[in-house]
Amino acid sequence: MQGDDHQSPAGDVDSVRRRTASRRSNIDSFIVMDVMSRAADREATGSSVIHMEVGQPGTPAPFAAREAAKRAIDSGALGYTLALGTSPLRERIARHYDETYGVPIDPQRIVVTTGSSAGFVLAFLALFDEGEAVALPQPGYPCYRHILTSLGQRWAAIETGPETRWMPTVDRIRALADADPGLAGVLIASPANPTGTMLEPERLAEIARFCERRGLWFISDEIYHGLTYTAKAATALAASDEAIVINSFSKYFSMTGWRVGWMIVPERLVRPIERLAQNLYIAPPAVSQAAALAAFDARDELERNVDVYRANRALLLDGLARIGFDHIVPADGAFYLYVDVGHMTDDSLAFAGRLLDEAGVAVTPGIDFDPVRGRQFIRFSYARSTADMEEALRRLAAWRKADV
């Protein structure tokens, strides 16, 4: 062996150059998860943190769901289910729409997914080609943007504000469609994250029908259904069979870590989505599906959880306003308050860092939801216990007093 150069089998000289991550992985982080990680680091050193950053219920999965999971485990090996999910769960989800909304759904149109996140990946792959655009409300859930970008698709912002009650309008969607011939779909969550605002049934129906007439796919993110305080949420399926609905057991059913959700799609999309699901996920977790099926029988327990969120919402709407966090977006549902702190900062990321370090309260900076206007907003989650919310108010009041 002579020298330091070694010949590869193909005769090329080996190089120290190493490949780097793909361009499609060059997306922004999901900032709330970064805040959650930083809060965990502080807790690991003995610091106390009140978690108001992540949209995660402080309650466990319903008792009936946990017991069903135990029975499933004790019954023997838990193998793959069908890619679309188990028939009993798909049938029960269909019955849920008839019972809750008066909308009959064929169980064959239901796809059980590995959380709503997998639902978005499957929907975007099945509905949109590379380069096509999807209209998204701003502010809005950041993972919509990031998933689309990683898949080589585009997104277009539907600006919302006080004049539209922080929700999209048909006029603004029409303007985007007229301006961008590559616009292929619209995605709206109601109740929304981060604002908690909700579309009135009439506006939801108007948007769904406009998309149908215009040849745009309409995706309705209904993950916060069941968590409403001013009026009952409507499903887009009441207005259009062409709507794609995505939901999850994470929020109302208090099952974030179980990673199980569902989609309802037009019949002609079932097989394309099934092929994608087979290849990307094989099947949703079997034990989680068994638990999810039982969760539908835990309504009394789940409604008690909603009562806690309702009390937390009232406590914070009053308490935050008293200590200077008084520019709060209307909060119809979910378990979030989106607060304008422009009179305190123009850097919500740094501001959230200060609240964590100096007050021991973890919140999410608005730039996670709106890269432009979010610099002057933060989001408070009130999904934890009422005792936690009371302690958070005490800490924030003391911090404001010291800061002012």
Contacts with 153 (C-beta within 8 Å, 6 or more apart), sequence order: 124, 128, 129, 130, 131, 132, 133, 134
Task: Please indicate, yes or no, if residue 17 is contained in any of the structural domains.
Answer: no
End-of-domain residue from the set 298, 318, 336: 298
Residue 27: pLDDT band with limits 50, 70, 90 = confident
Residue 23: pLDDT band with limits 50, 70, 90 = confident
Shared domain for 289 and 318, answered yes or no, is no
pTM of the model: 0.93
Shared domain for 54 and 97, answered yes or no, is no
Determine the length of the chain: 404
Task: Please indicate, yes or no, if residue 13 is contained in any of the structural domains.
Answer: no
Range of the domain at 305: 23-60+300-403
Task: Please indicate, yes or no, if residue 15 is contained in any of the structural domains.
Answer: no
End-of-domain residue from the set 272, 298, 324: 298
Shared domain for 267 and 357, answered yes or no, is no
Contact 130, 153 (CB under 8 A): yes
Contact 221, 195 (CB under 8 A): no
Distance between CA atoms of 190 and 28, rounded to whole angstroms? 24
Task: Please indicate, yes or no, if residue 3 is contained in any of the structural domains.
Answer: no
Task: Please indicate, yes or no, if residue 6 is contained in any of the structural domains.
Answer: no
Is 291's pLDDT higher than 90?
yes
Least confident span in 10-14, 259-263, 273-277, 317-321: 10-14
Q: Residue 362's closest CA among 395, 314, 340?
A: 395
Residue 347: pLDDT band with limits 50, 70, 90 = very high
Q: What is the pLDDT of residues 185-215, one digit of tens each?
A: 999 999 999 999 999 999 999 999 999 999 9
Least confident span in 11-20, 29-38, 82-91, 249-258: 11-20
Q: Residue 61's closest CA among 190, 310, 253, 215?
A: 253
- pLDDT for position 1: 46
CATH number, domain with residue 104: 3.40.640.10
Task: Please indicate, yes or no, if residue 97 is contained in any of the structural domains.
Answer: yes
Contacts with 166 (C-beta within 8 Å, 6 or more apart), sequence order: 139, 160, 192, 195, 197, 329, 330, 338
End-of-domain residue from the set 268, 298, 328: 298
Shared domain for 293 and 320, answered yes or no, is no
Distance between CA atoms of 208 and 261, rounded to whole angstroms? 22
pLDDT average, residue stretch 244-250 = 98
Task: Please indicate, yes or no, if residue 5 is contained in any of the structural domains.
Answer: no
- pLDDT for position 19: 87
Shared domain for 85 and 207, answered yes or no, is yes
Query: Which residues share a beta bridge with 189?
Result: 221
Is 159's pLDDT higher than 70?
yes
Shared domain for 195 and 51, answered yes or no, is no
The angle at the Cα of 124, spanning 116 to 96, to the nearest 5 degrees, equals 40
Is 29's pLDDT higher than 90?
no
Task: Please indicate, yes or no, if residue 98 is contained in any of the structural domains.
Answer: yes
Shared domain for 385 and 321, answered yes or no, is yes
Compute the mean pLDDT over every residue in the chain, rounded to the nearest whole number. 94
Shared domain for 253 and 339, answered yes or no, is no
The angle at the Cα of 81, spanning 235 to 120, to the nearest 5 degrees, equals 40
**How many structural domains compose the chain?**
2
Distance between CA atoms of 150 and 205, rounded to whole angstroms? 30
- pLDDT for position 17: 76
Shared domain for 102 and 248, answered yes or no, is yes
Shared domain for 284 and 210, answered yes or no, is yes
Contact 212, 190 (CB under 8 A): no
Shared domain for 163 and 86, answered yes or no, is yes
Is 112's pLDDT higher than 50?
yes
Shared domain for 218 and 339, answered yes or no, is no
